[in-house]
Amino acid sequence: ITERKNYTDRLEKTVDERTKQLREALEAEKELNDLKTKFLSLVSHEFKTPLTGILTSTMLLSKYKLEAQQDKRDKHIETITSKVHYLNNILNDFLSIEKLESGKINYKFIQFNLSKVVNEVIYNANMLLKEGQKILYPENIDDITLIQDEKTVELALSNLVHNAIKYSPEQTTIEIIVNQDTKNTTFKVIDNGIGIPEKDQKNIFNRYFRAENALLDQGTGIGLNITKTHLENLGGNITFSSIEGQGSTFIMTIPNTVK
């Protein structure tokens, strides 16, 4: 009888374990399906508006044939260019995810000067600034060098600066502060923008997540997720603090030298 009881107990335990595994697998599959649905609706939604804009502009371009209509033609070429850039950026984000997940990223570690990276980020950011926005950034960082993947450091910083611009109104200042100690280099990107609602803060690094107050701006909710993964791959990390309606500070830290 005791043997039999032991046997039934073991059997019950196995059944319980199997049920648990099955439930977990089903949950994981559901999560994956949810992500896929989210991805598809995001792609169609994000692509539809710019594509409609491009289509309208190309149709109008062929209408404005006269010399005197050059201004109108230029305006439509500008619209097409900026929308194609936007779509290209989104595609690059998607491709980065694919690359990061399939482990296809080859970081290239070289020694580089931080001022080069900061200048490049500022140069590109200047084109995105809204009316009256300005960026304060350290100008005497010529002596700061890193041995890291230069392109990834630039991508991470530029993601933070682009967000600061996008999620801040006109006439505001964005500040970049850089510090280096013996081990790490820290970048702070401070804005006086819309901030992140407290209830959304825990999700901000989740893929495709966008806070409620950000939905008026275009975005995919991919940038911060990619930035965090890259920084962690390089031995660094990213944190933030934010008050809704007042602004946000994003802090990324990266080791000076790859280990």
**Residue 235 CB contacts under 8 Å (≥ 6 apart), including other chains:** 254, 255, 258, 259
Question: Rounded to the nearest whole angstrom, what is the least distance from the CB of residue 87 to ligand ADP in the complex?
Answer: 13
221 belongs to the binding site for ligand ADP (CB under 6 A): yes
Question: Rounded to the nearest whole angstrom, what is the least distance from the CB of residue 15 to ligand ADP in the complex?
Answer: 43
Q: With contacts defined by CB under 6 A, name the span among 26-34, 39-47, 118-126, 216-224 that binds ligand ADP.
A: 216-224
193 belongs to the binding site for ligand ADP (CB under 6 A): yes
214 belongs to the binding site for ligand ADP (CB under 6 A): yes
Give the strands of the sheet with 247-255, arranged side by side: 134-136, 173-180, 184-191, 247-255, 237-243
Question: Rounded to the nearest whole angstrom, what is the least distance from the CB of residue 105 to ligand ADP in the complex?
Answer: 18
Contact of 193 with 211, CB cutoff 8 Å: no
Q: Given candidates 133, 152, 192, 220, which one binds ligand ADP under the rule CB under 6 A? A: 220
222 belongs to the binding site for ligand ADP (CB under 6 A): yes
The total of other beta-carbon atoms located within 10 Å of residue 114's CB is 22
196 belongs to the binding site for ligand ADP (CB under 6 A): yes
**Residue 27 CB contacts under 8 Å (≥ 6 apart), including other chains:** none
State the distance between the two ends of the chain, measured CA to CA, in whole angstroms: 61
- What whole-number distance in Å separates Cα of residue 237 and Cα of residue 252? 6
Q: Given candidates 137, 167, 187, 253, which one binds ligand ADP under the rule CB under 6 A? A: 167
- What whole-number distance in Å separates Cα of residue 160 and Cα of residue 154? 10
Strands 184-191 and 173-180, bridge-based pairing: antiparallel
194 belongs to the binding site for ligand ADP (CB under 6 A): yes
Q: Given candidates 115, 133, 152, 163, which one binds ligand ADP under the rule CB under 6 A? A: 163
The total of other beta-carbon atoms located within 10 Å of residue 198's CB is 10
195 belongs to the binding site for ligand ADP (CB under 6 A): yes
Question: Rounded to the nearest whole angstrom, what is the least distance from the CB of residue 159 to ligand ADP in the complex?
Answer: 6
Report which residue's Cβ sits closest to ligand ADP.
219
Contact of 151 with 191, CB cutoff 8 Å: no
Measured in degrees and rounded to the nearest 5, phi and psi for residue 104 equal -85, 5
- What whole-number distance in Å separates Cα of residue 223 and Cα of residue 253? 17
223 belongs to the binding site for ligand ADP (CB under 6 A): yes
57 belongs to the binding site for ligand ADP (CB under 6 A): no
117 belongs to the binding site for ligand ADP (CB under 6 A): no
- What whole-number distance in Å separates Cα of residue 92 and Cα of residue 86? 10
Q: With contacts defined by CB under 6 A, name the span among 13-21, 36-44, 189-197, 230-238 that binds ligand ADP.
A: 189-197
133 belongs to the binding site for ligand ADP (CB under 6 A): no
Contact residues toward ligand ADP (CB under 6 A) are: 159, 163-164, 167, 191, 193-196, 204, 210-211, 214, 219-225, 248
